[in-house]
């Protein structure tokens, strides 16, 4: 059965981050993911996970200045040193918090950088990060992001990501498949999942349009969840959506599945 993790960067935002762990546990989650845990000391996050009997299943590499619109720096030729320092920071948090995998956001391609150069830098950075993570027994993920919501994002398609994974050649580099972004860019969700499930280490969900909770849009999530069972997906499903109202008020879609989350 599907196993769901609450994305604490997008759910329960009615309260500060540290208080969201308790909210997630009370709602029935056994796991969480956080986009960027770096705003808090690792010791506070450790305690919040332990007190609420939660596991952290994913966080991202540092992604530049999020407040000014940066969404990753892995394809930026002038930010390689910053990227590598970010790998060290992410590994420190992963080791302390028990996260088994770290996601790398490629970023928006700078206007003065060609696509060929951006790809070369991204591949070099992914090879570096994958090697560093493998030494700690961790997976590195890359995530296509739709360019309708985020124009200029360098990695936007499933096949593009798979081609990068093949070229990097690291056996701990996998695809993070975000159903919302894939629906916006490609559709054909079930066939894509079936074809590439062995290369997908993590899935995230939100409905379309609006990026709200499942059941608010066009995606047939009950079918997709059953489909993931049929094709043998064993990973976590991150609930990375924007609640239409208060988070708890929109969790009705999850009730039939929560007893199977472990």
Active-site positions? 143, 240
Closest CA to 142 of 188, 200, 65, 205: 200
Contact (Cβ atoms closer than 8 angstroms) between residue 19 and residue 1: no
Place of tokens 């948090």: 93
Structure tokens at 45: 């996050």
Could you give the C-alpha distances from 136 to 64, 97, 127, in angstroms and in order?
A: 24, 13, 15
Q: Is 164 helix (H, G, I), strand (E, B) or coil?
A: helix
Q: How many CB atoms lie within 10 A of CB 159?
A: 11
């Amino acid at each position: 059965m599907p196993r769901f993790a609450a994305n604490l960067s997008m759910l329960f935002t009615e309260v500060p981050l540290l208080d969201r762990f308790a909210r997630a546990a009370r709602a029935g989650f056994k796991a969480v993911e956080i986009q960027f845990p770096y705003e808090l000391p690792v010791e506070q996050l450790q305690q919040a996970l332990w007190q609420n009997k939660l596991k952290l299943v994913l966080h991202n590499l540092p992604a530049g200045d999020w407040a000014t619109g940066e969404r990753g720096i892995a394809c930026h030729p002038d930010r390689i040193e910053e990227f590598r320092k970010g790998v060290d920071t992410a590994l420190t948090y992963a080791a302390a918090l028990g996260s088994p995998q770290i996601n790398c956001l490629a970023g928006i391609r700078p206007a003065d950088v060609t696509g060929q150069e951006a790809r070369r830098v991204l591949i070099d950075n992914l090879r570096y990060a994958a090697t560093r993570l493998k030494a700690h027994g961790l997976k590195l993920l890359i995530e296509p992001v739709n360019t309708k919501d985020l124009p200029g994002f360098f990695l936007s398609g499933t096949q593009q990501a798979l081609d990068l994974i093949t070229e990097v050649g690291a056996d701990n580099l996998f695809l993070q498949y975000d159903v919302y972004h894939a629906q916006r860019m490609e559709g054909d969700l079930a066939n894509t999942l079936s074809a590439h499930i062995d290369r997908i280490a993590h899935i995230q969900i939100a409905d379309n349009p609006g990026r709200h909770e499942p059941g608010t849009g066009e995606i047939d999530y009950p079918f997709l969840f059953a489909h993931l069972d049929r094709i043998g997906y064993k990973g976590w499903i991150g609930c990375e959506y924007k609640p239409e109202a208060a988070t708890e008020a929109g969790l009705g879609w999850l009730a039939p599945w929560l007893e199977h989350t472990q």
